[in-house]
């Protein structure tokens, strides 16, 4: 699949990664345009069912990104997200969902360059994995 352009959905928090991605823009750092960002108040708000829905509707990869540990605007939301992710991850793995398609990262409001890197790396990684069809088919019976 030479010209495969994956669809990547990013769930990011308002205070760190959304602002970090703004800084990427302000600094005019270029990155792959496969990414679509959805803004949340905090990674703690991110309901991981959204990840499954994304795959079911055709996403090839997902990024979840928020404040670094200890830096959460709301003190502890990112810790809840991290803990939830640890559990969810093993569940997904068990269910046969390819967890290499989900990238969990911390990007602060000052890390514009890092955001570009996270996106580019994810796009590269998902390109290697190819389009994600399994879950899409599975998902059609739910939605």
Q: Please report how close the Cβ of residue 57 comes to other proteins at its closest, in angstroms.
A: 4
With H, G, I as helix, E, B as strand and everything else as coil, classify residue 105: strand
Residue 63 sits in the site that holds other proteins (CB under 8 A): no
Q: Please report how close the Cβ of residue 114 comes to other proteins at its closest, in angstroms.
A: 9
Residue 18 sits in the site that holds other proteins (CB under 8 A): yes
From residue 143, how far is each of 29, 47, 85, 124 by CA, in Å? Answer: 38, 17, 23, 29
Three-state SS across 48-98?
Answer: CHHHHHHHHCCCCEEEEEECCCCCCCCCCHHHHHHHHHHHHHHHHHHHCCC
Tell me, what DSSP letter sits at residue 12? E
Residue 93 sits in the site that holds other proteins (CB under 8 A): no
Cα separation, 55 vs 16, whole angstroms: 25
Cα separation, 143 vs 96, whole angstroms: 19
Q: Please report how close the Cβ of residue 119 comes to other proteins at its closest, in angstroms.
A: 9
Q: Closer to other proteins at the Cβ: 84 or 125?
A: 84
Among 90, 100, 110, 124, contact with other proteins (rule: CB under 8 A):
110
Among 72, 97, 102, 107, contact with other proteins (rule: CB under 8 A):
72
- Span from 78-86, 93-101, 121-129 in contact with other proteins (CB under 8 A): 78-86
Residue 59 sits in the site that holds other proteins (CB under 8 A): yes
Cα separation, 142 vs 140, whole angstroms: 5
Residues engaged in binding other proteins (CB under 8 A)? 5, 7, 9, 15-16, 18-19, 21-26, 28-31, 33, 36-42, 44-48, 50, 53-54, 57-59, 67, 70-77, 80-81, 84, 108-111, 116
């Amino acid at each position: 699949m030479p010209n495969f352009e994956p669809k990547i959905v990013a769930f990011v928090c308002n205070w760190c990664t959304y602002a970090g991605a703004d800084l990427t823009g302000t600094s005019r750092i270029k990155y792959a345009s496969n990414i679509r960002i959805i803004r949340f108040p905090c990674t703690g708000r991110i309901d991981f069912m959204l990840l499954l829905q994304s795959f079911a509707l055709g996403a090839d990869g997902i990024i979840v990104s928020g404040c670094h540990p200890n830096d959460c605007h709301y003190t502890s939301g990112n810790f809840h997200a991290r803990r939830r992710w640890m559990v969810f991850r093993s569940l997904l793995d068990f269910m046969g969902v390819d967890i290499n398609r989900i990238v969990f990262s911390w990007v602060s409001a000052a890390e514009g360059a890092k955001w570009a890197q996270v996106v580019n790396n994810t796009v590269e990684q998902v390109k290697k994995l190819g389009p994600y069809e399994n879950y899409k088919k599975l998902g059609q019976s739910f939605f």
